[in-house]
Structures are given as structure tokens and as C-alpha cells.
Amino acid sequence: MLRYGDKVAVALSGGKDSTSLLYIMKKIMEGHRSELLALTIDEGIEGYRSESIENAVKIAKDLTVPLSVKSYKDFFGLSLDEAMHVKSEKGLKATSCAVCGPLRRRAIDRAAEELGANVVATAHNLDDILQTFYINLYSGDIQRIAWLDPEFSSNSDNFASRRIKPAMEIYEQELAFFAYLNNLPLQSESCPYMNEGIRTEIRMNLNDLERKHPGIKYSTLKTVISIAKVLGKSEISPGKAAMRCVKCGAMSSGPICSVCGTLDILRVE
């Protein structure tokens, strides 16, 4: 995933996954001719974010990795809490995560661009990938399933920077154990919006299956990647079917990307 000379920005939320990733990348990149940075995006979620930002600042300082902290407010003019207020005033049905996810991806891209990073490493673990697969499967978003092919997201022609997911074959529980064993800061608060969508139910179902059939998550990941690759060669291939957003030029499955669409609905620039 890494090449000599890369300038890698780790998306550091301050949770167990991203702190573990930064810790590991710092070790493996020592002596490498590549540069390691970290970026933290503050969504603006009261009672939740301050602890993880403190964790991010601490681990970056301990590892002597330069950290840049940016917020939704910096990039979009409003915090997630404010966006949720607008959403409920307008009676919009979208879940908080459906608003938050695209904004975070865009904020990470912009922050990485400001840092001059050509690679963004995110701490998506095996469980995250499977949950995303099922969310897209249930909502019929085939193109987003095709985007799960790591080769697609790591192609810099498709995104502003190469996206890599070094922890995508690692179980969430193993990352938590790694963080615990290495005394990495752990977050005690959960996002207050996390149970609005279907992700938590999928997560619990997958954990239940894994308990009864150890290894099933790992074999499902292999299937997911194979499906994504097959889709990538088909007519709905992200390379063939995806278009550029008419507003911002980002890769999109429609004429307007999810970020511009979300911002339009919230009527902020």
C-alpha cells in the first residue's frame, strides 16, 4: 500500500482503531523515506468529540507525528449538531450518519490536500467493511459495493489522494485488544447519533454469526472483495459508470455528489 516518498496522512479520530493504526504506521515507517502526518476532523458533536480529540492530540504528541485538527465548521460553516438541528427543522428523513459520513470524507480530503499529503490512510477494519457492504446491499447501492475494492480506492485517478485501509483485514476486537495491550488511549463515550441507522444492528448480527461460526467474517470479506472486483469489471464499474459532480468535480454516482447534495439540502456552502 505504501511507496517510497509517499506523504501519508492518517485520519486520526482518536478512537481505538485510528490510534492503533497511527502507532503501527509510525513503527513500520521508521527509517522509510516517507512522511507520516495525522489529521483529525472535529464533526462538532457535543459531549462526544472532545474526549477523542484529546486522545488524538496525546497520541500524536507521544509518537511525535504532526497533527492537524480541522472541523466541519471550518469547511462547511456548521457543526454536525447544527446540521442535525436544520435537518429536524426541515423534517428530513436522512439519518445523522448519512449526513455525517459524506461530510467527513470530504473534510478528510480537504484537510489532506492542505497538508500536501498524497495518501490518506483510514482505520477501517474488517467489521467496518462488512457493515458498509450490507448497508449498501440493503439500500441497493451497487456502485458503492464496487467502491469497496481496495484497488479502486487506492487509484489516485479516482480520488484527490490515494486512499488506503491498512487495517481492513483485521477484526475490530483485535484492534481493540491491540490498543489495550499497548496502553493506547481508549474512548469511553459513543457518538449519540450512532444508533439511528441500521449499522449497529448489522454489527450485532455479524458478531452473533461470528460467535457461532468463527472465521465467517473473514471469509465474507474475501467474498465482498471478489464481488467488488467483478462489479468493477462490469458496466456499472466505478471507472465507467461514475461521473464527476457538476458542482465540485468529485467522483459521484449521480450528477451531484452526496456532499454537495447534503450541503444543498442544509443550504450551506
List residues binding ligand SF4 (CB under 6 A).
Answer: 43, 96-97, 100-101, 191, 193-194
Helix 16-28 vs helix 49-62: crossing angle, to nearest 10: 10
**Do residues 217 and 224 make contact, with C-beta atoms less than 8 angstroms apart?**
no
Shortest distance, position 262 Cβ to ligand SF4, whole Å: 12
Nearer to ligand SF4 among residue 13 and residue 253 (C-beta): 13
Shortest distance, position 248 Cβ to ligand SF4, whole Å: 20
Shortest distance, position 128 Cβ to ligand SF4, whole Å: 11
Nearest Cα residue to 53 out of 187, 194, 193: 187
Nearer to ligand SF4 among residue 101 and residue 261 (C-beta): 101
Shortest distance, position 204 Cβ to ligand SF4, whole Å: 15
Nearer to ligand SF4 among residue 34 and residue 95 (C-beta): 95
Nearer to ligand SF4 among residue 95 and residue 155 (C-beta): 95
Shortest distance, position 101 Cβ to ligand SF4, whole Å: 5
Nearer to ligand SF4 among residue 100 and residue 145 (C-beta): 100
CB within 8 Å of 37: residues ≥ 6 apart: 7, 8, 9, 10, 65, 66, 67, 68, 115, 117
Q: Within a 10 A sphere around the Cβ of 58, how many other Cβ atoms?
A: 14
C-alpha–C-alpha distance, residues 92 and 82, integer Å: 14
C-alpha–C-alpha distance, residues 42 and 54, integer Å: 11
